[in-house]
Homo-oligomer: A and B are copies of this chain.
Amino acid sequence: MRKLCLILFIFCSFFALAQKQDYPIQPVAFTNVKLTDHFWTSRIETNRTVTIPASFARCESTGRVKNFQMAAERKGKFCTTYPFDDTDIYKTIEGASYSLALHPDKKLDAYVDSMITIVGKAQEADGYLYTARTIDPLHVGDWLGTERWVKEQENSHELYNAGHMYEGAVAHFMATGKRNFLNIAIKNADLLVRTFGPGKRHVAPGHEVVEMGLVKMYRVTGKKEYLALAKFFIEERGHKEYNKKSKNPYENGVYWQDDKPVVDQDEAEGHAVRAMYLYSGMADVAALTGDKEFLTAIDKIWNNMVGKKMYVQGSIGAVGDGERFGANYELPNATAYNETCAAIGNVFWNERMFLLHGESKYIDVLEKTLYNGLISGVGLDGKSFFYTNAMQIQDGFNHPDIERERAGWFTCSCCPTNVVRLMPSIPGYIYAQNGNDVFVNLFISGTGNLKVNNKGLQITQQNNYPWDGGLQFTVNPAGSMDMNLKLRIPGWAQNQAVPSDLYSYQTAQNKKVEIKVNGKAVDYIIQNGYAVISKKWKKGDKVEMNLPMDVQRVVANEKLAEDNNKVALQRGPVMYCAEWKDNDGKAANIIIPQNTIFTTAYKPELLNGVTVLTGDVKAVQVDSSGLSISTQNKTLTAIPYYSWANRGKGEMTVWFPQQVKYVELLTK
């Protein structure tokens, strides 16, 4: 299996080389990286043993599989809620494929094949694959359009389904070498090529993802039409007539990133998941075609998002109504929506921005999202999920849209199946290279196998990240090798909360980042956020980097009025929260005075192993009469944000008052 993969990657690389343009930096594929750490390995293993089987089981029990079976027979009645429920199967196959590449499993392999057979039978003769219509095209109802594609922009998600199918098929092909799913995808993609394009049908896809999918299909098949169609779809946006005066994002087109041509867009807007997939697709097409205008636009959009629309724990998509970005600095805590899928999309996009620009700030955002607002979306049990990721849970508040506890599945279950596919791909985000520049982006124990100028290079990391800042890298080139090792120095280690003025640190790290090569401290230069160590490397060279790990008090730009006079707690890449369980049943009653000193302790038995923070704070208490309110001293215990809601339901908060100005009295 391993060999097969290698052959496939060489095969794919052939196409990559044949292309004139591509990302200047190339990631080191997850299949070439073997993890030995606890933090991620345990999550990936849980994903393999629990999440993937649970996800397939739910696709079966909820009727998602049955939809395909009915479509194959052209009879019955679509039996789930959304036409895009098809994609849950595609995404679970994608995740299972990544998992198979890392961890061969005949039973799973055979099961996936059986699913692909079911999917294939639902495909119409010309390649169309969309169970909601194929089951009974005459009774689809006007909601999805009585003809193919006519409601694509509004509701139907026909191209969204196609995009996820392509991503699943490419992953399956690359992991297993089998073409059974890929052939289905090619047949469908060829239908799109015949249907859409200049002189043919025009549409701005309602929920983007087909663009990324088509790019992946192009990479695997080399068919330039797929790349051209991806670009066409992107350029279709912004030409429909909307009510420009309206502030309603459904009326003015903003919801779909369709209010103006993408090259004129400069703000992260509309439905956050759609936005992330669009910007990722634009990055792909920009890289592969050399399009400068797409690049200029996504650079501006990135600055806007990171500078004005991202929560302190890396989540995006603040507004529940429309699952969308709000206005600049609209980041409410009590109603934060923060869809898990949007965090995943944000990882996709920032990885691509890094591959385009080679700057560490994109990985800073990626890391912040990954360790906080993304993995908060899946419980430690691997089978309970958050669709939204709250910033504050407070008793006496009633925000019906905000989840207070995890669920096993959702009617719209995009998030769990997105987690399924993201988790096993994480090793692919650690290393990247551009010629003999080798980037180390994430600090996860394990070994990466690279090729530099066709010579093998092994990099082994040993650390206890994210709990400890002591990082060790062993460099093992096949032979003596000139290579520039580029170690990311995280923004937080240099007192930059995110690469913008949205958040900043109230207190500076006590120590500077130190780097030693073979035991000797070196003066290093910093390029684009990376410490560059250039030398002739030989087998067994050891590099040590010490990231300072003081508890950091994060404060928000004063324009973020919601968080005025508040503080958030960070240590390393990990954002903290207070949860009811560790704090006498409450969390929203805590005041952290400016002079609070925190101590840290690693608790191996707690929440699969976490470092907790403790400090002396104030707590506001309401007595049982409901007539007397007072402030008492107490010891705060803070846990990593991602680990909340694994021990039952109750208060949680990320931002703490440092100073209270008023109180609101709640009576229910």
A626 CA to B628 CA in the complex, in Å?
18
Closest to A245 in B: B143
The reply to whether the CB of A634 lies closer than 8 angstroms to some CB of chain B is no
The reply to whether the CB of A666 lies closer than 8 angstroms to some CB of chain B is yes
- Chain B residues within 8 Å of A251, by CB: 250
Contact (Cβ within 8 A) A663 B666: yes
Given A394-B664, A591-B665, A664-B396, A659 and B626 contact (CB-CB distance below 8 Å): yes
Q: Type the 1/0 row for A621-646, where 1 means its CB is closer than 8 Å to any CB of B.
A: 01001111111000000000000000
Contact (Cβ within 8 A) A667 B618: no
Given A630-B631, A631-B628, A631-B630, A660 and B591 contact (CB-CB distance below 8 Å): no
Option from B396, B593, B660, B665 in Cβ contact (under 8 Å) with A622: B660
**Minimum C-beta distance from A361 to chain B (A):** 29
Contact (Cβ within 8 A) B661 A622: yes
Contact (Cβ within 8 A) B665 A588: yes
Option from B395, B565, B626, B662 in Cβ contact (under 8 Å) with A394: B662
The reply to whether the CB of A566 lies closer than 8 angstroms to some CB of chain B is yes
Given A398-B561, A627-B631, A630-B631, A662 and B658 contact (CB-CB distance below 8 Å): no
Q: Which of A539-591 contact B (CB under 8 A)?
A: 561-566, 588-589, 591
Closest to A622 in B: B660
- Chain B residues within 8 Å of A107, by CB: none
The reply to whether the CB of A657 lies closer than 8 angstroms to some CB of chain B is yes
The reply to whether the CB of A620 lies closer than 8 angstroms to some CB of chain B is yes
**Minimum C-beta distance from A110 to chain B (A):** 41
Per DSSP, chain A at the interface is loop
Closest to A562 in B: B668
Sorting the interface of chain A by its residue count into under 10, 10 to 19, 20 to 34 or 35 or more gives: 35 or more
Given A143-B245, A245-B143, A593 and B666 contact (CB-CB distance below 8 Å): no
Contact (Cβ within 8 A) A662 B588: yes
A661 CA to B625 CA in the complex, in Å?
9
A564 CA to B64 CA in the complex, in Å?
43
Please state the number of chain copies in the assembly. 2
The reply to whether the CB of A453 lies closer than 8 angstroms to some CB of chain B is no
Contact (Cβ within 8 A) B622 A628: no
Q: Which of A283-339 contact B (CB under 8 A)?
A: none
Contact (Cβ within 8 A) A622 B667: no
Q: Which of A231-278 contact B (CB under 8 A)?
A: 245, 248, 250-251
Contact (Cβ within 8 A) A663 B627: no
A629 CA to B591 CA in the complex, in Å?
11
A593 CA to B618 CA in the complex, in Å?
26
Contact (Cβ within 8 A) A667 B663: no
Q: Type the 1/0 row for A183-213, where 1 means its CB is closer than 8 Å to any CB of B.
A: 0000000000000000000000000000000
- Chain B residues within 8 Å of A622, by CB: 660-663
Q: Type the 1/0 row for A206-230, where 1 means its CB is closer than 8 Å to any CB of B.
A: 0000000000000000000000000
**Minimum C-beta distance from A542 to chain B (A):** 48
Contact (Cβ within 8 A) A564 B629: no
**Minimum C-beta distance from A260 to chain B (A):** 19
Contact (Cβ within 8 A) B663 A620: yes
**Minimum C-beta distance from A195 to chain B (A):** 27
Given A245-B143, A565-B667, A665-B591, A660 and B627 contact (CB-CB distance below 8 Å): yes
Contact (Cβ within 8 A) B245 A668: no
A666 CA to B589 CA in the complex, in Å?
11
Option from B394, B625, B627, B660 in Cβ contact (under 8 Å) with A667: B660
A667 CA to B668 CA in the complex, in Å?
22
- Chain B residues within 8 Å of A561, by CB: 398, 668
**Minimum C-beta distance from A471 to chain B (A):** 37
A394 CA to B250 CA in the complex, in Å?
32
Given A561-B398, A630-B630, A631-B628, A666 and B659 contact (CB-CB distance below 8 Å): no
A658 CA to B666 CA in the complex, in Å?
10
In this complex, the member of A626, A660, A662, A668 whose beta carbon has the largest number of chain B beta carbons within 10 angstroms is A662
Given A561-B398, A591-B665, A667-B564, A660 and B626 contact (CB-CB distance below 8 Å): yes
A629 CA to B664 CA in the complex, in Å?
12
Contact (Cβ within 8 A) A663 B565: no
A576 CA to B120 CA in the complex, in Å?
70
Contact (Cβ within 8 A) B661 A657: no
Closest to A241 in B: B142
Option from B248, B562, B625 in Cβ contact (under 8 Å) with A250: B248
Contact (Cβ within 8 A) A663 B248: no
Contact (Cβ within 8 A) A620 B657: no
Closest to A246 in B: B250
**Minimum C-beta distance from A51 to chain B (A):** 32
Option from B250, B562, B661 in Cβ contact (under 8 Å) with A626: B661
Contact (Cβ within 8 A) A660 B589: no
Closest to A561 in B: B668
A666 CA to B566 CA in the complex, in Å?
10
Given contacts A565-B626, A662-B666, 12 further A-B contacts (CB under 8 A): A397-B664, A398-B561, A564-B668, A565-B668, A588-B664, A593-B627, A626-B659, A626-B660, A629-B660, A630-B630, A661-B666, A663-B664
28 example contacts (A-B, Cβ-Cβ < 8 A) are as follows: A394-B662, A395-B661, A396-B661, A397-B664, A398-B561, A561-B668, A563-B667, A564-B668, A565-B626, A566-B667, A588-B664, A589-B663, A591-B627, A618-B628, A622-B660, A626-B658, A626-B661, A627-B659, A628-B631, A629-B660, A630-B631, A657-B665, A659-B667, A661-B666, A661-B667, A661-B668, A663-B663, A664-B666
The 5 closest A-B pairs by CB, nearest first: A626-B659, A396-B662, A565-B667, A564-B668, A664-B664
Residues of A within 8 A of B (CB): 143, 245, 248, 250-251, 394-398, 561-566, 588-589, 591, 593, 618, 620, 622, 625-631, 657-668
